Structure 1
């Protein structure tokens, strides 16, 4: 073969062989058709998934509304404010007037933001529960027992916050006493 009869192909151009190699699964046309079909199914499933998500979010929103999430947050506001006031005073560099300005603004913004909070709670419920679970929760919350549970959630949350704080202080006190005892035996002074 002479030089003139050979065709030149730059290295970046791949010359197709006359007979393409086939993977298991048939001709190139069948593979292309199967790939296009799979892609079409995936694209078609997107609106269905979005519709399912929208339906689940709507049901989750109903659960959150029946559960009175917004009202419960409003009812817990005094507990939050009390905790914040304690934290602000513990900082030592905030006087009572500054603390009150902060708490007043926080309370106003918090109240304004409750609808957005309810939306966020609904999104969490929609993400964590199936449509069937949400429908069952909704049905339960509409029963007398479900309503009783919902009525007790705020006082239970307030009591749990107090119990948790007391328990945490007790554990912390025990740990501090234990460390002091260990340091006393070793002749050192703990820095707690």
Structure 2
């Protein structure tokens, strides 16, 4: 018999292994076999039936998949990696690396496998980093941001007068920028400022 005609070797799988490949419990696997949604075992001799690996190599569309468990979001007041990265204006991978290096604060808790940080620790780290790099403070979450024109309109002054007040330190500095690098101010800080 030519080598090209030799059948490919295959492995035998137990019901537990078949169920694991399909993402099912053993009971769900046996139910699918009994319903005809999965192939019957190749070998039934011995104490346990066995299937060939090629019988369960591809997903059978008739076999129901186990639905992933959804956890209810916990309102714990702690921040996730993404939130910490946004607040510190770092990429998530960079923030994670700084945590590993001991530069950034370590997580204070975990929700399953998700690390969580105390917001006060992250704010203190971000403030210290900002002072060191001379960056403006980011706005608090859910704080509306205003353009220079909106700030000038709020104070009933011309746009040039608003920019002059910012330059002289009579008005707050911008806390963020748009994608076009236009400065943005915290609406709360602008409201508490008097510009004439």
When the two structures are superposed, what TM-score results if normalisation uses the length of structure 2? 0.24
* Structure with bigger gyration radius: 1
The structure that is strand-richer by fraction is: 2
